[in-house]
Amino acid sequence: MKSPFLSTALVLPLTLCSMWAAPIEKDALQAKFRKRFVVVNDKGLMAASCDSSSGAGIGVLTNVVTSVRNIEIKRGTRCPVQPLQMGEVLKVEDASFHFGNLILETTSVSPHSVTRGAGAFAHEITAQAKAYVWFRAGKDGKDFAAADALAAHWFTPFDTAADAAKIGNTASGVFVKEVKAGMSFAEVESALGVPVTRVDLGAKVLYKFKDMTVEFQNGKVADVR
């Protein structure tokens, strides 16, 4: 007589393996991102920032992601284009699947700083950054796991903006242009504007902005916090 315990011991691992190996379906892939918030994990994606004076919604900007190393930027817009920064939080307005791609319509949670005009007419405005991101579902356009893996490389999804804020940057102020180590005072002011306060500590100088402090050592950026 076959032991029921032996049967259970054999069936349970097979059941668990089939659960672990279960491929993601198209509907589940779309639901994973639709109306959720995502944190940007890597550089390379672009977005367009349109203010009301430039005609919001004129055209779209699309990132076509076919692999971790391959992104094609389609600039179907007249609005200023900027990179999406690592740590930035986006809201996924919609998720769909067309033409063999997982398509995410995204909007930045924090506005971007955008330069309008030129020369004496140049001025800074703030605007939400919008972008479509297409993740290719393998070579045949039917590999949903491949699209899921690509999306996971760039985006980590969360249910709420508050949950995303624990990982990403959802400061109430503008999501400013990137500041890098080695930049000069002039380069930082060009990117961020004049600081709220400046603290001189000999060889060390602190530029304090609304949402960050930039530390200079001997006239060059040494730290940002």
On the question of pLDDT at 10 being above 50, the answer is no
CB 102 within 8 A of CB 29: yes
pLDDT tier at 88, thresholds 50, 70, 90 = confident
Per DSSP, 134 falls in state E
Residue of higher predicted confidence among 112 and 218:
218
pLDDT of residue 134: 98
Residues 28, 30, 35, 36, CA torsion sign: positive
pLDDT of residue 18: 45
Residue 195 φ/ψ, nearest 5 degrees:
-65, 160
CB 193 within 8 A of CB 211: no
How many other C-beta atoms lie within 10 A of the C-beta of residue 105?
Answer: 18
